[in-house]
Amino acid sequence: MKKRVFSGIRPSGDLHIGNYLGAIKQWVGLQDDHEVVFGIMDLHAITTPHDPEKFRRNTLETAMVYLAAGLDPAKTTLMVQSRVPAHAELAWILGTMTPLGELERMTQFKEKSRELGTKGGIMAGLLNYPILMAADILLYQADAVPVGEDQAQHVELARSLAERFNNRYGKAFTLPQAMLQKDTARIMALDDPPKKMSKSDENARGYILLTDSPDAIREKIKAAVTDSEKKIAFAPEEKPAISNLLVIFSEFSGRPIPELERSYAGKGYAEFKADLAEAVIAGLAPLQERFRELETDTDSVFAVLRGGSERAAAVANKTLA
């Protein structure tokens, strides 16, 4: 039997190469031999500040990126979280068995509440986010959840809630596991390599958007922070900036990191960065071309989401019942 996979992205901004390498690229590879559901997690996106107009656009554009990246609606269920009310309903039930302390200990909650605390308020929805994420995963009886490292802790909570529920009420849920792609689990910010690349980063130089123009990509990579020692070598602890750039280079060019190290031995950062920029531009070109085509046919994108959400609801409602 095919393994079941669920994952999703919050439409909380324009998607960047971290979302692509850490999540979407893996998803595309899974759709042939797994039963897959991928969501646009809009109920999660409203846990942080957002502009309603931009928010609607982001939901559509996230779907366009999914399709442009190669997710095929014939093989993959693409759904919008708020179109399937079972997510919110199961989240309530799971919330009655989640200790407050477990939520307060979540790294994402701590990081986001530190940021938001200075901007006027942390809402209960942000604290409860991992409960809703557990509902997302458990409703589809997912065996595996492909995510970046930042979300692994939330998948662990989903697993322990499933165990708790099954022990108390009888077996209702499959126990899910995070599926991490080791090398790309954490793409770091270009301007601040100890921090992960993030779409809500206030500094646009920190991320490369999937829709950035070739010139913007060249400029951002040229400005990317480097390490003090000039050598181009992969050593994430000692050389976090250049190691991050090597991972990105390798992913977009298909060339292994040791080969890149050899070919840039003795060469300067300027040459390395110029070639890296061209590799990213070429790697994103097919996705960007399909994205532009979809922009002229948004009705078909909405139709995919409507059909996918209906299929997802049928599975989710069965679990909930």
Decide if 199 is catalytic: yes
**238 is written with which tokens?**
């000692």
User: Minimum Å distance from CB 44 to ligand AQP?
Assistant: 7
19 belongs to the binding site for ligand AQP (CB under 6 A) = yes
Active-site residue, from 25, 199, 239, 273 = 199
Q: Report in angstroms how near the CB of residue 293 gets to ligand AQP at its nearest.
A: 24
* Calpha distance 16→189 (Å, rounded): 11
Place of tokens 């040791």: 258
Are β-strands 177-179 and 144-146 bridged in parallel, bridged antiparallel, or unpaired?
A: parallel
Q: Which of 2, 75, 196, 220 is catalytic?
A: 196
Confirm or reject binding of residue 198 to ligand AQP (CB under 6 A). Answer: yes
Of the candidates 69, 57, 56, the residue with the CA atom closest to the CA atom of residue 16: 69
Answer yes or no: 231 catalytic.
Answer: no
Q: For residue 269, what are its two tokens? A: 């950062």
Residue 116 to residues 40, 123, 296, Cα–Cα distance (Å):
23, 9, 37
Of the two residues 190 and 260, which places its CB atom closer to ligand AQP in the complex? 190
Nearest in space to 283 (alpha carbons), one of 22, 27, 17: 17
The one-letter code for the residue type at 72 is D
User: Residue 39, interface with ligand AQP (CB under 6 A)?
Assistant: no
The verdict on whether 222 is a catalytic residue reads: no
Binders of ligand AQP among residues 131 to 160 (CB under 6 A) are 147-148, 150-151
Q: Which stretch binds ligand AQP (CB under 6 A): 77-85, 118-126, 163-171, 183-191?
A: 183-191
Size of the site for ligand AQP (CB under 6 A): 21
Q: Is residue 203 close enough to count as binding ligand AQP by CB under 6 A?
A: no
Q: Which residue has the tokens 């919110």?
A: 88
H or E stretch at 165: helix 152-169
Q: Which is nearer to ligand AQP, 15 or 277 (CB)?
A: 15
Question: What is the pairing mode between strands 144-146 and 76-80?
Answer: unpaired
Closer residue to ligand AQP, CB minimum distance, 69 or 165: 69
Q: What is the contact surface with ligand AQP in residues (CB under 6 A)?
A: 9-10, 12-13, 18-19, 22-23, 147-148, 150-151, 184-187, 196-200
Residues assigned a catalytic role: 112, 196, 199
